[in-house]
Amino acid sequence: MDLVKAMEQFPDQEACIEHLEGIRWGEKPQCPKCEGLDVVRKNERGLGRIGRWCCNDCGASFTD
């Protein structure tokens, strides 16, 4: 893939993170600490922490 195609496929940080999360977890993210599936995306866009997740089972915060 050349740079132009990469920029078209991933025009911003969110698009890149979404692609990498799909590779890592497929359809459903999983907590790396307790392996729980009850996870939610943290709303930290204003803090520059896009891609952060929180586990509702154990309370862990994680990115991958």
Counted domains in the chain? 1
Residues 11-56 have pLDDT tens digits of: 998 888 889 888 988 888 899 999 999 998 887 655 556 778 899 9
Q: 36 burial class (0-12, 13-18, 19+ CB within 10 angstroms)? A: middle
Give the pLDDT of residue 50: 73
Contact 39, 55 (CB under 8 A): yes
Range of the domain at 54: 3-62
Give the pLDDT of residue 2: 82
Sequence length of the chain is 64
Q: What is each CA distance from 14 to 41, 57, 61, in whole angstroms?
A: 12, 25, 18
Give the pLDDT of residue 39: 92
Q: How far is CA 20 from the centre of its chain?
A: 7
Contact 56, 40 (CB under 8 A): yes
Q: Higher pLDDT residue, 47 or 61?
A: 61
